[in-house]
Amino acid sequence: MTTEFDITETLDVKGESCPMPVVKTKGAIDDLAVGEVLEVLATDAGSLSDIEGWADGTAGVELLEQVEDGDVYKHYVEKTAE
């Protein structure tokens, strides 16, 4: 079940492998304002655990949802603090 989010920006890291999806997600989140949502599109199955682990260990971000859509993994990350 996919929840609709007000997506501020989409980051396409399809074809990238660990650690690049997390590295690029961090960079994109740093450029957002508090309350904005980043959609990350990845093809690396490892991004599911990698982005979840990064979000869990990072202050100021919240992983809202992860969705598998065929061969694309969609991650929704909200910036919650500076």
The answer to whether 61 and 77 are in contact (CB under 8 A) is yes
Rounded to whole angstroms, the Cα distance separating 32 from 43 reads: 23
Backbone angles phi, psi at 63, to 5 degrees: -80, 110
What is the set of active-site residues? Answer: 18
Q: How far apart are the first and last CA of the chain?
A: 30
